[in-house]
Amino acid sequence: MLRLAIQKSGRLSEDSLTLIRECGINFISSSYKLKTEATNFPLEILFLRDDDIPGYVQDGVADLGIVGQNVLVEAGFPGLEVEALGFSKCRLSLAVPRADAYASIAALQGKNIATSYPNILGRYLAENGVQSHLHTISGSVEIAPSIGLAEAICDIVSSGSTLLGNGLREVETVFRSEAVLIAQPNLSAEQTELLDQLRFRMQAVRRAKR
């Protein structure tokens, strides 16, 4: 038996459920149940907040998970990734108020930056020799410059319309992300065999879509 953790409700949920179904795995899901069992594959599905998924898989509470690389790497467990899934593509970017001068990343030296990704951003700034003050906030990051909390932000971007709507301009791509399948490091031989079957089916689903 394998336990797979997916996001309960959010941007990853629908594509995660669709992928499992396209792998030929049948299950009944209802919005109030946090756990369901597949009827034709030894798989149990847990519905969790995406932020909790890497830790649960690292600890072996869940055997597998589907999560964005942004959340996985920020949590500090990049080694759990076993398969890129090709959906929920986005980027983690730095942005500044549209009217502000910005020649290079050196412009952020000594500045306040609001983000939900202090680990990924901290590493990126260090690699670029820039020291900034990071303010970790968990949501609505794009509002920070307009309320005087920070001179810049670092947040997830996909279409760019949220930045635009908040008078911000994207200036650096810090990290590129997509949804990935992750697995706990200590699967049994039987579980590894099931994981291989699952990955084989996921790869076939992706190939069929190309």
Q: Could you tell me the smallest distance in angstroms from the CB atom of residue 181 to ligand PRT? A: 14
| Other C-beta atoms lying within 10 Å of the C-beta of residue 124 | 19
Find out whether 67 and 182 touch, Cβ atoms under 8 Å: yes
Q: Could you tell me the smallest distance in angstroms from the CB atom of residue 197 to ligand PRT? A: 26
Q: Could you tell me the smallest distance in angstroms from the CB atom of residue 127 to ligand PRT? A: 22
Q: Could you tell me the smallest distance in angstroms from the CB atom of residue 169 to ligand PRT? A: 13
Tell me how far apart the alpha carbons of residues 155 and 165 are, in angstroms, rounded to a whole number: 14
With CB under 5 A as the rule, give the number of residues binding Zn ion: 2
Asked if 50 is part of the footprint of Zn ion (rule: CB under 5 A), the reply reads yes
Tokens standing for residue 86: 């090709």
Tell me how far apart the alpha carbons of residues 16 and 38 are, in angstroms, rounded to a whole number: 14
Tell me how far apart the alpha carbons of residues 40 and 50 are, in angstroms, rounded to a whole number: 26
Asked if 74 is part of the footprint of Zn ion (rule: CB under 5 A), the reply reads no
Residue 54 binds which entry of ligand PRT, Zn ion, none, with Cβ cut-offs from 5 to 8 Å by kind? none
Burial class (CB in 10 A: 0-12, 13-18, 19+), 74: buried
Closer to Zn ion by Cβ: residue 66 or 195? 66
Q: Could you tell me the smallest distance in angstroms from the CB atom of residue 61 to ligand PRT? A: 16
Find out whether 116 and 139 touch, Cβ atoms under 8 Å: yes
Residue 109 binds which entry of Zn ion, ligand PRT, none, with Cβ cut-offs from 5 to 8 Å by kind? none
Residue 177 binds which entry of ligand PRT, Zn ion, none, with Cβ cut-offs from 5 to 8 Å by kind? ligand PRT
Closer to ligand PRT by Cβ: residue 41 or 117? 117
Phi, psi (rounded to 5 degrees) for 5: -100, 125
Residue with tokens 């306040």: 112
Closer to ligand PRT by Cβ: residue 50 or 63? 50
Instruction: Return residues touching ligand PRT (CB under 6 A).
Output: 7, 10-12, 49-51, 68, 70-71, 88, 90, 155-162, 177
Helix (H) or strand (E) holding 91, with range, is strand 90-97
Chain contacts with Zn ion (rule: CB under 5 A): 50-51
